[in-house]
Amino acid sequence: MTDILYGTRASLFTGKARAYLDWKGIDYREIPPDAKIREEVILPAVGRMVIPVMQLSDGTILQDTSVIIDHYEAAIDGPSVYPSTPRQKFAAMLLETYGDEWLVIPAMHYRWNYNEGWIYGEFGKSFLPDASAEQQEAAGRMVGERFKGFVPMLGINDASIPAIEASYEALLTDLNSHFERHDFLLGSRPSIGDYGLIGPMYAHLYRDPESGKVMKRLAPRVADWVERMVEPTAKQSGEFLGDDEIPDTLVPVLQRMMQEQIPNLLETAQLMTEWGKSSGERELPRAVGQAGYWVEGHASARFASTFSLWMLQRATDYLATLQGEDRAACEALLREAGGETLLDFPMPFRLEFKDHRLWRA
């Protein structure tokens, strides 16, 4: 039995999983989750409707792209998307967190403020492929309006939109300069950081037509990278740069992460500390209130994502394993990027992702 990826082309995280599976050379089928699959496979196994979901040949269900990738990294021999050297591995894990958990802000903004009518049709085609255009649009609107409801929760509003667009366009400029010199973030092989970025960069910001025009106009080398990621020409190919090199062109991207995302995660950690004091629950809620963030000088707030802290914990756990010169090299990288907060990030308690849910360990 072949492994099955339940997902859609319009799904941000399905795009991340698919790009990895294709590069890794995994034998799988992708199936859009219709009502039958949702009721008989995803909801019984996961407890909520979410994609992507991976069903292994033995029936095991994997949910969350980092879990899916880590499963195949352990199960399949060959080159890894995790660099073996300390600075590159740490940087790649940070950039996975940045792509997964922060670039959802511009991704959702551009989708729902520039591509709304188009995306309803795309959702409908995925869930009702044989229906009429009118039926697809109606079904897509029912699905899509749920996602549209997340937009204000991410701090996307009339006041913040100019800053969000300015930040995204500056990121495109930095990445364009980087991809003029390198095929991927850390050389000629995609890293876990590339897969963090590809979810929002492909499914929303490249594939949605209006935002795709923005990317291709402002950052054609970024569009080229997207195409390399989603259509790998050779499985398990390429090498990371030698001598644990972090290209100078990548430092501005890390600096942007430290300036925008890390203060938000610091406030989220403080809110989670207060939640922990008042709640005896082990399972964490999706959010613990609203945490502020600052983009291009503009103050806003978004839901304080507990899952974002688990993603960050993956990177800081790796940092904690390092000693001596390896630790010093990563500390120097953080100082160069303005990320000194991560040297002793105040995580309120350990987090564990188990049984498709986030728990207080």
Question: What is the block-wise mean pLDDT of the chain (361 residues), using blocks of 10 residues?
Answer: 94 97 97 90 94 96 98 96 98 98 98 93 79 78 84 96 98 98 98 98 98 98 98 96 98 98 98 94 96 95 97 98 98 98 95 96 92
Do 109 and 242 lie in one domain? The reply is yes
pLDDT value for 141:
84
Is 8 part of any domain?
A: yes
Q: What is the pLDDT of residue 285?
A: 96
Question: CA 158, 160, 162, 168 torsion: positive or negative?
Answer: negative
- Kindly state whether residues 93 and 128 are assigned to the same domain: yes
Amino acid at 2: T
Report d(CA 94, CA 192) in Å as an integer. Answer: 9
Q: Is residue 38 part of a domain?
A: yes
Concatenating the DSSP letter of every residue in 321-344 gives H--HHHHHHHHHHHHHHT-GGGGG
Let me know if residue 14 belongs to a domain.
Answer: yes
pLDDT at residue 82 in the model: 98
Query: How much is the pLDDT for 87?
Result: 98
Structural domain range at position 54: 3-75
Q: Are 91 and 193 in a shared domain?
A: yes
Pick from 24, 52, 75: which residue ends a domain? Answer: 75
* Domain final residue, candidates 75, 96, 130: 75
pTM of the predicted model over 0.75: yes
> What local confidence, expressed as pLDDT, does residue 237 receive?
95
Specify whether 264 is located in the same domain as 129: no
Residue 81 placed within a domain: no
Residue 331 region, left (φ>0) first, then alpha (ψ -120 to 50), else beta?
Answer: alpha
Residues 95 and 208 in one domain: yes
Of 51, 75, 99, the last residue of a domain is 75
